[in-house]
Amino acid sequence: MDRIRVLVVDGHRIFAESLATALTAEQDVDAMAVGSVPAALHQLERAPFDVLLLDVDLDGESALLIAARERHPGLRAVMLAACDDPARAAVALTAGANGWVAKDSSLARLLQVLRGVLREETHIAPALLTGVLHELHRDRRHRSEHERLVESLTPRELEVLRCMLAGLGRKAVAERLYLSPHTVRTHMQNVLGKLGVHSTLAAVALARRAGVPPAE
């Protein structure tokens, strides 16, 4: 039997380790837990995983989601959330997440989601679905506005945004564009400001809706 390899990434280590232990008790699941983005990236490079269970409130979660999906196309990502938030769920799904599940869900529900996303399903709680669909429809109606916002970027800011789309962190962007990390940080802040968003994940989601290609 093929076992499902799960990486749990949550800043609350006791929660993450308890969840990984509960998942590993299942006959067809192997799970491990880490508590930070750098640790998660390290583990993803060391060994293959099928599903990334990612705390939506973890510092740097947006960059991890983007990088993980770009570097490991076969990896499925499920967001772990303390509360339902249709707007944030829509952003995460647009950026490449395959599911959104509450942290207080039963183990049976979580296993259903894990197995479902591996069958190419998208899993969202029924109570959240209407709000998420509303957000996605609203975003489609605003596509021309998103394109206009992207057009407000300078050529250098657009280069930085395309690097963000490719899942590159600040240091990697600096090396790629021959800029200092401080300059890249300034450009990233300008990109977020001009796009009217507050996170890298939201910027990437908006750029994808506007049809911006990632850096090659």
- C-alpha distances out from residue 147 to 41, 79, 90, 141, 153, Å: 31, 27, 18, 12, 10
Domain boundary among 65, 98, 128: 128
User: Which domain covers residue 152, as residue numbers?
Assistant: 142-209
Domain boundary among 128, 154, 187: 128
Q: What is the DSSP letter of 212?
A: P
Give the pLDDT confidence score for residue 141 in this predicted structure.
62
Give the pLDDT confidence score for residue 37 in this predicted structure.
87
Do residue 23 and residue 58 come from a single domain?
A: yes
Do residue 71 and residue 176 come from a single domain?
A: no
Residue 29 lies in a domain: yes
Do residue 122 and residue 153 come from a single domain?
A: no
How many folded domains does the chain comprise? Answer: 2
Domain boundary among 128, 151, 173: 128
Query: Residue ranges of the chain with pLDDT lower than 50?
Result: none
Give the pLDDT confidence score for residue 142 in this predicted structure.
61
- C-alpha distances out from residue 162 to 105, 133, 189, Å: 36, 26, 14
Do residue 122 and residue 150 come from a single domain?
A: no
Paired tokens of 7: 């990486």
Residue 214 lies in a domain: no
Paired tokens of 80: 């772990």
Q: What is the DSSP letter of 30?
A: E
Do residue 59 and residue 147 come from a single domain?
A: no
Residue 83 lies in a domain: yes
Residue 116 lies in a domain: yes
Is 0.75 topped by the overall pTM? no
Residue type, 98: N
Residue 42 lies in a domain: yes
